[in-house]
Structure 1
Amino acid sequence: MAQHKYRQLTKNIQTCHSMLVAFSGGVDSALLLKAARDTLGRDNVLAVTFHAPFHGKEELLEVQSLAARLDCRLQVIKDSGLMDDADFCANPPNRCYICKRTILTRLLDLAREKGLSTVAEGSNADDVRDYRPGMQAVRELHVISPLQMAGLTKREIRKISRDLGLPTWNKPSSPCLCSRIPYGSPITYIKLRQIEEGEKFLKEAGFSEIRLRHHGPLARIEIPAGKMGDLINEPMLSMVQSHLRGLGFQYVTLDLHGLRSGSLNEVLDFK
């Protein structure tokens, strides 16, 4: 079934003469970029990555390395202007819509400038089941989502990626750092730095899947349930508490529900 959907993906891409791919370096956009590169050829595909303060510094290095491995042209835009947008920084529930529309508008302008016929992004079939305000911007601007159009789920994308030898096949999902800040709490450079440095420390300590939720003076750690014992045992517990307090958090807590995508959406009635 997954291979059939992948063939459908490449058929859909064939209808596009050229393509600009919004490339984050994650499992979804990596498969999309490879499919576009293999189908349309190197000269007809351009990967574009936005790198802003709400993206981790290491993410850019990973993006550049992966684009080189796939032999794809890459353009990096380091200033999205969103941190100067008062509406975005106010962190409303439709924050992702504001972000997505701003970025996709710039990608459409760039595609016209480069003579590329299509702009594509990496949403998959599972994304329609979650709160995804950014999809509204995708529809409004007529950007295509080839993985979603082919009906590919995240699980299928990982399987195909593994079969194709993509290093991203088992890469954990990593939404932008703004997703760690509750809606209504302003997005600031200080908060983003605290989150990035805190998650970096925890990853280096052995917690590869981690969300550090920023609740003002309180840091709420989300990790898989099976890893909780590793965190609460000494000396790890004291090391984590000391490091996060050093970043400016007064309280350090462990969420007993464990790691889950979009936990800050639980307060929204989006159904």
Structure 2
Amino acid sequence: MLEKLEQLKTLFREMEQAIIAYSGGVDSALVAKVACDVLGDGAIAITAVSPSLLPEELEEATIQATEIGIAHKIVQTHEMDNPNYRANPVNRCYFCKSELHDTLKPLAKELGYPYVVDGVNADDLHDYRPGIAAAKERGARSPLAELGITKAQVRQISQHLGLSWWDKPAQPCLSSRFPYGEEITIAKLQRVGRAEVYLRKLGFSNLRVRSEGDTARIELPPELIKDFVMANDLQAIVSEFQGYGFMYVTLDLEGYRSGKLNQVLTPV
């Protein structure tokens, strides 16, 4: 772990200056932390804001950037203006990351920064991530992936560095809550976001609310499903979700599994 950390520091020393595509997730936060420690003012964290990012996630990212001590800027991205993105094809993430890096690359050039880096880790290379290709096409680098640093190692290094969010659950953009082919709208994104925030306030941090038509499907870690059913007023939850615009509210008995919607792409 410490060897990987030293390799990461060396990589940033060689870069001298870098812009970090920073979502506030544990991966990009580690990249921002090490970049800031090595480069100081030569590192800037940029968070892209769009309807697919929860306001609460932006707030957390801002707090974390302050704790890290890195300069933090916010930019607006407009992937929702792209009909290819809204149509939600299987390569939707390609159009999202295209918009992101088409925004960051000219910004880096304007500021005189030679590199744009992201938080893609080594495990991501073995998952279906069409957005990785979009980033590479635009010259972005992925230090964690380049050095073979896995998600587990990201958490280990983050804990070693004293980052309080080292065990923060993954939080991909809200557009990942919809089955491929279902059109994404701002209203749908807001509906899903409000539902997830509501459940987190009940004490469940690692969860998803999948949306298909008028149906919300709650996914929780399998070991928490029984507690969820026994400890909560289910009708109150249904009423809350219906207030957001859902008609039906269901609980996934298999439980939460990262990338579950991708199972339609290959036989299981």
Give the C-alpha shift of residue 235 in structure 1: 4.3
Give the Cα–Cα distance (whole angstroms) in 1 for the partners of residues 17 and 98 of structure 2. 22
| 2:87 matched residue in structure 1 | 90
Q: Which runs of 4+ in 1 moved over 3 A?
A: none
1:143 aligns with 2:140: yes
Give the stretch that moved more between structures: 244-253 or 117-126.
Answer: 244-253
1:50 aligns with 2:53: no
Residues 154-190 of structure 1 show CA distances to partners (whole Å, capped at 9, x for unaligned) of 1111011011111220100000000001111011111
Letter in 1 for 2:13: Q
Matched residue of 1:233: which SS? helix
Give the C-alpha shift of residue 66 in structure 1: 1.1
Matched residue of 1:74: which SS? strand
Q: 1:15 to 1:235 in 2, by over 3 A?
A: closer
Give the Cα–Cα distance (whole angstroms) in 1 for the partners of residues 153 and 244 of structure 2. 39
1:176 aligns with 2:173: yes
Give the Cα–Cα distance (whole angstroms) in 1 for the partners of residues 155 and 101 of structure 2. 25
| 1:17 matched residue in structure 2 | 16
1:102 aligns with 2:103: no
Residues 215-234 of structure 1 show CA distances to partners (whole Å, capped at 9, x for unaligned) of 11111110001111122226
Give the Cα–Cα distance (whole angstroms) in 1 for the partners of residues 112 and 267 of structure 2. 38
Give the Cα–Cα distance (whole angstroms) in 2 for the partners of residues 234 and 5 of structure 1. 43
Matched residue of 1:105: which SS? helix
Letter in 2 for 1:223: L
Give the Cα–Cα distance (whole angstroms) in 2 for the partners of residues 30 and 234 of structure 1. 34
Give the Cα–Cα distance (whole angstroms) in 2 for the partners of residues 151 and 270 of structure 1. 28
| 2:74 matched residue in structure 1 | 76
Letter in 1 for 2:69: D
Give the C-alpha shift of residue 105 in structure 1: 1.6
What is the TM-score when the length of structure 1 is the normalising length? 0.96
For the aligned residue pairs, the C-alpha RMSD in angstroms reads 1.4
> What pairs up with 1:114-153 in 2 under 5 angstroms?
114-153=111-150
Give the C-alpha shift of residue 32 in structure 1: 0.4
1:65 corresponds, among 41, 63, 66, to 63
1:268 aligns with 2:265: yes
Give the Cα–Cα distance (whole angstroms) in 2 for the partners of residues 209 and 236 of structure 1. 19
Figure out how many residues of one structure are paired with residues of the other and give that number. 268
Matched residue of 1:107: which SS? helix
Indicate the percent of aligned positions where both proteins have the same amino acid.
43
| 1:259 matched residue in structure 2 | 256
Give the Cα–Cα distance (whole angstroms) in 2 for the partners of residues 189 and 256 of structure 1. 28
| 2:2 matched residue in structure 1 | 3
1:244 aligns with 2:241: yes
Residues 118-166 of structure 1 show CA distances to partners (whole Å, capped at 9, x for unaligned) of 1100000100111100111122122110011111111111011011111
Q: Is the Cα contact below 8 Å between 1:241 and 1:252 reproduced in 2?
A: yes
